């Protein structure tokens, strides 16, 4: 009983940033949480509720009851007698940012150094860790799952994955960046309607809400319902503007890679070859086929997958010209964006 009261007292002190935990403070939580790991299909899974467990995988897994292709998360059934980890909202993390990163065999201390920025930039720790290690606070609450290296999927994404029947995210066509306490537009999807927002505009609020961190803004949009309209208040030089933007369903990002061409029904592999064309899409009507290789966008030759997004985000004209190679035959397609 004394140890329980001591742990509760430590949790309260951490919440208000009065102390920083040391490694031995996590010993009890490690012994408890290590029992929540199970090996299946060659992967470490963390049990998250009675009879269910999750894992992260960049490669497709065949056996699952639910999958988030953006996060690379998989949910499976496991025996109901295995203890489970309780995940809580990410905002409940104590001010110190000190966490234990736990796997079946050991645990280490680490510190959260970035809260992330949507699906394309997961939260980060100050050290590298094994994938599918549990990120946990001294109060034995789950705050994330390591993806390997320094990145981890934070608990807000995990809770949404567990609690929602369908995996759906919303997209406003804007990518954001943070400088100090200010948030700016970093990139614009050229295949969204032109709402008059430009790269470099400062975001002041969305639907009347202000955001102190870009991670919170990104989540607000991602977790909204697709096709809803949001009101964005932004600043350009000394002028303030309001624009209503209709959200779309997000089609790419995260583990899938951010692919603006998905909005015309075109999906690329990392070698720039077409992996899939949506039936009835603009790409389908243009005659693009699986296996075609993208060579050029307008006047720019494309050498890598990340370059596609970079070039497309800077398009200025009304028309887009794409050069492809099919069996050593090169051909152009063009369309109005």
CATH of domain 170-249: 2.30.42.10
The average confidence (pLDDT) of the chain is 93
- Is domain 259-336 classified as CATH 2.30.42.10? yes
Residue range(s) of every CATH 2.30.42.10 domain in the chain: 170-249, 259-336
Q: Is the pLDDT of residue 218 over 90?
A: yes
160: confidence class by pLDDT, cuts 50, 70, 90: very high
Q: Is the pLDDT of residue 186 over 70?
A: yes
Of 254, 242, 331, nearest in space to 293 by CA: 331
Query: 2-163 belongs to which CATH class?
Result: mainly beta
Comparing 117-126, 188-197, 320-329, the range with the smallest average pLDDT is: 188-197
pLDDT for res 301: 97
315: confidence class by pLDDT, cuts 50, 70, 90: confident
pLDDT digits (tens, 9 = 90+) for 18-54: 678 899 999 999 999 999 999 999 999 999 999 999 9
Residue range(s) of every CATH 2.40.10.120 domain in the chain: 2-163
């Amino acid at each position: 009983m004394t140890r329980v009261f001591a742990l509760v007292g430590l949790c309260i002190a951490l919440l208000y940033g009065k102390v920083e935990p040391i490694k031995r403070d996590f010993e009890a939580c490690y012994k408890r949480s290590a029992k929540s790991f199970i090996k299946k299909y060659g992967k470490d899974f963390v049990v998250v509720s009675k009879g269910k467990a999750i894992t992260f995988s960049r490669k497709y897994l065949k056996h699952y009851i639910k999958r988030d292709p953006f996060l690379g998360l998989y949910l499976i059934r496991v025996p109901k007698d295995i203890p489970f980890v309780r995940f809580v909202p990410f905002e409940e993390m104590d001010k110190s940012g000190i966490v234990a990163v736990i796997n079946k065999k050991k645990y280490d201390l680490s510190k959260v150094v970035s809260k992330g920025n949507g699906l394309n930039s997961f939260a980060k720790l100050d050290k590298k860790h094994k994938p599918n290690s549990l990120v946990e606070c001294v109060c034995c609450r789950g705050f994330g799952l390591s993806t390997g290296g320094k990145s981890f999927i934070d608990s807000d994404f995990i809770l949404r994955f567990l609690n929602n029947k369908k995996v759906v995210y919303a997209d406003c066509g804007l990518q954001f960046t943070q400088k100090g306490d200010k948030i700016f537009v970093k990139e614009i999807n050229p295949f969204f309607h032109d709402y008059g927002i430009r790269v470099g505009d400062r975001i002041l609020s969305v639907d009347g809400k202000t955001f102190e961190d870009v991670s919170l803004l990104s989540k607000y949009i991602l977790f909204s319902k697709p096709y809803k309209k949001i009101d964005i208040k932004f600043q350009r030089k000394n002028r303030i503007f309001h624009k209503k933007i209709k959200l779309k369903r997000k089609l790419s990002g995260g583990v899938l890679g951010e692919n603006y061409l998905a909005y015309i029904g075109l999906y690329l592999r990392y070698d720039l070859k077409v992996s899939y064309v949506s039936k009835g899409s603009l790409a389908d009507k243009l005659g693009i086929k699986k296996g075609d290789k993208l060579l050029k966008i307008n006047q720019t030759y494309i050498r890598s997958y990340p370059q596609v997004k970079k070039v497309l985000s800077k398009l200025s004209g009304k028309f887009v010209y794409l050069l492809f190679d099919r069996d050593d035959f090169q051909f152009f397609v063009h369309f109005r964006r």
